[in-house]
Every structure is written in C-alpha cells, then in structure tokens.
Amino acid sequence: MPAVTFSRGRSGANRFRHPTRVVAAGFAAAVGVGTVLLLLPVATESGTGAGLVDALFTATSAVCVTGLVTVDTGGYWSTFGEVVILALIQVGGLGIMTLAALFTVLVAHRLGLRRRLLAQAETKTLGLSGIGGLVRNIVLFSLASEAVVATVLTARFATGGAGQPAMPFDRALYHGVFHAVSAFNNAGFSLNSDSLMGYVTDPLVSLPVAVAVIVGGLGFPAVFDLARNWRRPSRWMVLTRITVGVTAVLLLVGTVITILAERSNPDTLGPLSGPGKLLAGFFHSAMARTAGFNSIDMSALGPETLFATDLLMFIGGGSGGTAGGIKVTTFAVLAVVIWSEMRGETRVNVGRRRIPEGNQRQALAIALLGIGAVAVAVFTLLIMTRHSLDLVLFEAVSAFGTVGLSAGITADLPPAAHLLLIALMFIGRVGPLTLASALALRQRTRRFEYPEERTIVG
C-alpha cells in the first residue's frame, strides 16, 4: 500500500503531505476551546471569570496533560471549570495515544516490504483499515484502567483513613474519578490544594495513582505487547524490552536517590517511618515520569533531589503513551549507541535486533532539540525573574516534559513567563511526537554519495 496522501481538486496542490501539521492544529484548537470555556464566569467559584493568561495556561496544561497551574484547581475553579479541565485532560491523553497509533501505521507504510511486514506483525495493525480497531482498543483500555483506579480511590475516599476524614459518597466518587483520569493521563491535576500530601503514607491512594501513572506512561505499543506475550518475554518487541527495562531501572534509581537525599530532611521524608519513606520515595520517583502529583513538599526538596528529578522528568516515559519527555526509548537508544561506540562495535544492537541508523539519528535529534528548548527557556526565565537557577531549571524541565511538578514558583512568575511556559508545554507535548513521526516519514534514499572525509571529534 503506498504512503497515505490526501488531496483536494484535480491539481493536487493542496495535498496533505504533512500530517504533523494537523496534530499541532488539533492540539491548538483544543487549547483554544478550553480557554474560551474557562473564561466563562460560570467556570470560577467567584463567578467573575478568570484572567486570560490563567485560562490559557490552565487549558494548555490540561490538553498537554502537564499539571502546572497558576491557580488552585479545587479552590479557584467551579465544578463546571473542573469538569472542563477533566474533559481537556481526557481529550489530550486519548489524542496523544490515538495519534501515536496513526503515526505507527503511517510510518510502517513508508518502510520497505520486509520491514513493513515486521512492523505490522509487531503492532498487529494490518493497515489503515485496521486503525479503527486499534483506536477502539486504546479507548477501551484507557477507560477501563481509569474505571478500576477510580473505583479503588472512591472506596478509599469514602471510608477515610491515614489521618484523612471520610468523604460523602458523591464527593468521594467525584474526587476518585477526577484523580483517576488525571493519573492515567499523566496530567497531575488535583482537587486538593496540597495535591496528595495528605495521603503520603496511605498506600491505598498512593499506589493506585502510581500504578495508573506508570501504565499510562508505558505507551500503548508496549502495553498491548505485554498483554499478548506476558508469559513469553522472549517474544517481546525491542520497544517493549527497552520501555519496561528502562522504566524499571529509572523507578528504582529515582526511589533510592529520593530516599537517600531526603531521609533526614525534616520538611519532606524526615518525620516518616521506614515504610513511609519507601512509599513516599517510590511515589515521587513515579510522579517524576511526567505525572505531576506530589505527596511531599516540592519546595522543600534539596538541590540534589531537584536535579535528579530534572533528569527523570526530561527522560519521561514510553512512546505512544500519555507521558512526556524525550521518551525512555530515545534515552536508551542513545545509551546503547554510546556503549557500542566505546566497545568499538560498528553496529548498534539490542538483544538480537539491530537498531537502524535512522532511529539513532532520530534519537539524537530529539534529545538535542529538547536540550536546546530547555536551555533557551531557562535563559529567558532567568532574565524575567529573580529565582535561582535550580528552581528555574526545574520549572522549565517540568513544563517541557509535561510533568507538572513545581518547586512552588509557578504562580509567582510574571505573565510573560507564564506565556513562555505555555509555549514550552505545547512544544514538549506536540514536539517529540510530531518530530519523531516527521523524521521517519521524511526518510528517503539519496541516489549518490559524496567522498568520505574524517574529521576530528572531541
């Protein structure tokens, strides 16, 4: 089947050759609709309407499933406003995964016959005719996962525990559904002014939220592959092996670093018991994978923990999921490239599969462009504000990685800085997905080669 091309008219002058443009336009349209709805007086508790920057910032954060906020979600927005935010989160999360599914098919059809057959066998997608079934499975899986987590959270909120009073059932159900949708879509929006700090030692809240974040952040290709072959790891795709392996390692490393760095901090993990420290450390590590909830005071974290969190946020989660960042696959491919180069190997292999040079170039491009975007944003924010470098860096990486964790300076930033973070959130959400797809779709074979000349590197 040839590459997908949409045309209008006889001349074909308006052919749709760049589907990535539609992605950006679609996300921008959703942000625009959300902004208009949040500007309505009925969207705020005061009934006076929100400011334009606050509405735009919140809508962008929700559609890009980030979680950064300029106002208290539960205290500033009315029930109508909160439902709008919840709908934007759901649209943003499902949109990311379904678009990733579409791009998987588009990229597969630009491959050679042999690679196309391999890609189709791995994704279980036979062509554009099968995209409907794939999208349906993604939607059903997302809604089912959210329903399971919402049920557990509703039961916990309704019964109370861990020092928190029981909620009336209708309020518990509302909180359970809101936090479940926000967690699975890696958004990090919370109806509580202190996020989930009140449940720092409550495993019946922290663990379901963390599991939802991890599952949503793995990405649909890895999740569906695990569902098919969970008893036969030898048959996992390379993508699944990388995603699961790197995710497990980063979760462990993040947990250990957080516990070691914050174990004596009286404002974070210091007062907690051993199991409490372990739960809080694991929860923080999971949230740094682009979720945005926090069970400890982020503004009280030490600089070493902030920097380690920066690295986790920048890497992000799996491809084709609701997590942000440059993706664990990008990080893993670059790590394997470096390891292969250090060993003097001419080919880059993962297991018994060779990573194509095109994938290596894509990973390098995404990582360097991400570093560039963060660097420009940090430099600009340092000029705009008087906050220290570690806090500004944390805020910028959180926005680019669509994480939503904040060291407590978001609301204090000037409007110009808020607009910069809006742009960074949009780039961080739309950029890696569209860039990776655009690079793959644009691959072509040059019919000639220039003479080779080595240069000095390093």
For residue 278, give the amino acid letter: L
**Ordered DSSP codes for 395-440:** HHHHHHTT-----S-TTTS-HHHHHHHHHHHHHHHHHHHHHHHHHH
Judge whether residue 21 has pLDDT over 70: no
Contacts of 240 (CB under 8 A, 6+ apart): 221, 222, 225, 226
**Of 219, 216, 205, 218, whose CA–CA distance to 294 is shortest?**
205
Q: Which residue has the higher pLDDT, 100 or 38?
A: 38
Average pLDDT, the chain: 85
| DSSP secondary structure string for all residues of 230-252 | TT-GGG--HHHHHHHHHHHHHHH
Picking from 226, 191, 228, 168, the residue whose alpha carbon sits closest to that of residue 83 is 191
> What confidence score (pLDDT) does residue 111 get?
43
DSSP string across 133-153 = HHHHHHHHHHHHHHHHHHHHH
- Which has more confidence, 318 or 378? 378
Buried b (16+ CB within 10 A) or exposed e, 80-117: ebbebbbbbbbbbbbbbbbbbbbbbbbbbbbbeeeebe
263 contacts 187 by C-beta, under 8 angstroms: no
- d(CA 430, CA 436) in angstroms, rounded, equals 10
Give 320-329 pLDDT, tens digit per residue. Answer: 778 889 999 9
Q: Quote the CA–CA distance of 291 and 398 in Å, as a whole number.
A: 10
Cβ density class 130-148: b for 16+ within 10 Å, e for less? ebeebbeebeebbeebbee
Residues 342-373 have pLDDT tens digits of 888 888 888 777 888 878 888 888 899 899 99
Grade residue 450 by pLDDT with cuts at 50, 70 and 90: confident
Please, which pLDDT band fits residue 4 given cuts at 50, 70 and 90?
Answer: very low
- The single-letter code of the amino acid at 303 is P
Centroid of chain to Cα 212: 13
Q: What are the structure tokens assigned to 186, written together?
A: 């890696």
**Tokens in use for 167?**
């909620």
pLDDT value for 230 = 83
Spans of all domains in the chain: 19-441
Predicted confidence at residue 444, as pLDDT, reads 60
Of 74, 27, 32, which is closest to residue 55 (Cα–Cα)? 32
Residue 72 neighbours by CB distance under 10 Å:
15
- What is the C-alpha separation between 165 and 170, in angstroms, rounded? 15
Beta-sheet pairing, 349-350 with 353-354: antiparallel
100, pLDDT greater than 50: yes
How many angstroms separate the CA atoms of 3 and 352, rounded? 29
Radius of gyration from C-alpha coordinates of the chain = 22
* C-alpha separations of 406 from 10, 107, 312, 345, 412 in Å: 53, 36, 14, 42, 11
Kindly tell me if the per-residue pLDDT of 17 is higher than 80.
no
* CA pseudo-torsion sign 277, 282, 285, 290: negative
Nearest of 403, 395, 390, 252 to residue 325 by alpha carbon: 403
User: pLDDT tens, 33-66?
Assistant: 999 999 999 999 999 889 999 999 999 999 999 9
The rounded Cα 278 to chain-centroid distance in angstroms is 24
